[in-house]
Amino acid sequence: MSENVPLEKIDDFRWRIPKSYKPGMRVPGLIYADEKLLKDIYQDKALEQVANVAFLPGIVNYSLAMPDIHWGYGFPIGGVAATDIAAGGVVSPGGVGFDINCGVRMVKTNLMFDDIKDKIKDLVYALFSRIPTGVGSKGDIRVSEKEEKEILVKGSKWAVSKGYGVAEDLEYTEDNGAIEGTDPDAVSERAYERGRAQSGTLGSGNHFLEVQVIDQLFDSRLCDEFGLTLGQVALMIHSGSRGLGYQICEDYLKNMVACLQKYNISVPDRQLACAPVNSPEGQTYLSAMRCAANYAWANRQCLMHLARLVFEEVFATSWQKLGMQLIYDVAHNIAKIETYIIDGKEKKLCVHRKGATRSLPPGHPALPSKYKNTGQPVIIPGDMGRNSYLLVGAEKAQETFYSTCHGAGRVKSRTLSTRTTNLNALLKELESKGIIVKASGRETIVEEAPQAYKDVNDVVSIVHNAAIAKRVCRMRPVGVIKG
CA pair distance 330, 183, nearest whole angstrom:
22
Q: pLDDT by residue (tens digit) across 222-248?
A: 999 999 999 999 999 999 999 999 999
Q: Nearest-CA neighbor of 355 among 476, 203, 238, 234?
A: 238
Per the document, the length of the chain is 483
Q: pLDDT by residue (tens digit) across 87-126?
A: 999 999 999 999 999 999 999 999 999 999 999 999 999 9
- The identity of residue 440, as a single letter, is S
185 Cβ contact partners less than 8 Å away, ≥ 6 residues apart: none
Q: 169 pLDDT exceeds 80?
A: yes
pLDDT computed for residue 458 by the predictor? 94
Cα dihedral sign, 429-435-441-443: negative
Q: Which of 74-78, 140-144, 146-150, 244-248 has the lowest mean pLDDT?
A: 140-144
For residue 391, what are the β-bridge partners?
Answer: 378, 471
CA pair distance 393, 410, nearest whole angstrom:
24
Q: Nearest-CA neighbor of 67 among 307, 343, 386, 400?
A: 400
191-206 average pLDDT score:
82
Q: Given phi > 0 = left and psi -120 to 50 = alpha, else beta, which region is 32?
A: beta
Mean pLDDT (the chain) is: 94
431 Cβ contact partners less than 8 Å away, ≥ 6 residues apart: none
Enter the pTM of the model: 0.95
Edge-to-edge strand order for the sheet containing 14-17? 8-11, 14-17, 29-32, 63-70, 77-84, 345-354, 333-342
Catalytic position from the list 70, 207, 352, 406:
406
pLDDT computed for residue 139 by the predictor? 65
CATH of domain 8-91+100-482: 3.90.1860.10
CA pair distance 299, 195, nearest whole angstrom:
10
359-378 average pLDDT score:
97
303-318 average pLDDT score:
97
pLDDT computed for residue 416 by the predictor? 86
pLDDT computed for residue 444 by the predictor? 84
- The identity of residue 139, as a single letter, is G
- In the chain, where are the structural domains located? 8-91+100-482
pLDDT computed for residue 137 by the predictor? 58
211-232 average pLDDT score:
97
Q: pLDDT by residue (tens digit) across 377-403?
A: 999 999 988 999 999 999 999 999 999
pLDDT computed for residue 417 by the predictor? 87
406 annotated active-site:
yes
CA 479 to chain centroid, in Å, comes to: 21
Q: pLDDT by residue (tens digit) across 323-339?
A: 999 999 999 999 999 99
168-172 average pLDDT score:
98
